Structure 1
């Protein structure tokens, strides 16, 4: 295998972008301190008076962390990269880099339709990119090489996850505040994708 086709540099670069995005998430919270000092407010108000911003920070931190773990699992199956893989990976990095922006909007505007759709739409785009990455790896022997094949169950789980994000966007179009709760279905995802054991012949 050619050294220049090794995915290591692509993975390291992706890790750096994710780390920067996680750092940017907390900046709106740190900016609260000078505001509290100027207003003469007690320190406890940084928490008690800013639950929406704290919630949006924790939610986005968890989402980016989940995306990062999935990204690393995908690249465990990558032995070399091709142009489609690089392009889709950069699209995924774009969704990660953009995410702090809608996160800050959520903290300020909470359940306004545009804000929720912007946020959930960004998550949906990231999930679509993950699914595309997986199928590129799965479908190109030059990419996955001698790595363990991507199982049908795992591929199905990616499709289901993307479907859940899409459902969240649809629900948010009707009832913006309920779009977030649809994401809880991600915790039940294994129930939707677990393969049922084959029936034992009589």
Structure 2
């Protein structure tokens, strides 16, 4: 299917796409729960690192679902490009349980950490693209504050994606374990993060004039 012929067909397609997305979210949450394997020792039942990773990722998936829902609720009509981005987003959501499993097993090694961070960055990037596409469809919307909040969220997620990419590049260049790399690049990482946030803040200040 190369194109959708009319508005009604595109709206039906969008509803089906949203319903399919909800199924993937539910499937991912179910798989995430299965990562809680029975430990070999009774002392590991309440292992804080394992529970923190599972609960934190569960909360992130729920947050991503809410962000996804907010995009679709504003009369968002998906085209084929939007559907492609959405499928990439869902792929990253579906891979999360596996990336959590590798992080729990090989947490201090770069490949497992990189997989988890890349998966999160891909989710943030695709979610930002979908939100911007939705905002372009809402250019005539009079709810300026809602649009301003969504633009801010998109900019912050885009900046965070860039920061995660720089972080992985720095850790890969350093070599060794993730912990040693974070200690080595600590001051640089904090400086880059602060610079990115300042840049986002400067752009955000200009958004009200841009929207009106």
Is the TM value for this pair above 0.5? yes
2:160 maps to what in 1? 164
2:56 maps to what in 1? 59
Question: Hey, what's the Cα distance between the residues in 2 that align with 1:11 and 1:156?
Answer: 24
Does 2:27 correspond to 1:27? no
Q: Indicate if the aligned counterparts of 1:92 and 1:129 stay in contact, CA closer than 8 A.
A: yes
Question: Hey, what's the Cα distance between the residues in 2 that align with 1:145 and 1:14?
Answer: 27
Q: Indicate if the aligned counterparts of 1:28 and 1:104 stay in contact, CA closer than 8 A.
A: yes
Alignment size in residue pairs:
181
RMSD: 3.4
Superposition TM-score, scaled by structure 1 size: 0.73
Question: Hey, what's the Cα distance between the residues in 2 that align with 1:84 and 1:125?
Answer: 16
Question: Hey, what's the Cα distance between the residues in 2 that align with 1:157 and 1:4?
Answer: 26
Question: Hey, what's the Cα distance between the residues in 1 that align with 2:10 and 2:81?
Answer: 16
Q: What are the Cα deviations for residues 7-28 of structure 1, in whole angstroms up to 9, with x where unaligned?
A: 2221111111001101111212
User: What is the Cα deviation at residue 147 of structure 1?
Assistant: 9.4
Q: Indicate if the aligned counterparts of 1:113 and 1:173 stay in contact, CA closer than 8 A.
A: no
Question: Hey, what's the Cα distance between the residues in 2 that align with 1:154 and 1:145?
Answer: 15
1:119 maps to what in 2? 116
User: What is the Cα deviation at residue 170 of structure 1?
Assistant: 2.3
**Uncovered stretches (5+) of structure 2, i.e. residues with no partner:** 1-6, 172-177
Q: Indicate if the aligned counterparts of 1:78 and 1:147 stay in contact, CA closer than 8 A.
A: no
Superposition TM-score, scaled by structure 2 size: 0.70
Q: 1:81 aligns with which of 45, 62, 78?
A: 78
Q: Indicate if the aligned counterparts of 2:131 and 2:150 stay in contact, CA closer than 8 A.
A: no
Q: What are the Cα deviations for residues 47-99 of structure 1, in whole angstroms up to 9, with x where unaligned?
A: 1xx33322221121121111111101111123432111111111100000011
1:128 maps to what in 2? 125
Distance change >3 Å, CA 166–CA 117, structure 1 → 2: farther
Does 2:134 correspond to 1:137? yes
Secondary structure class of the residue paired with 2:111: helix
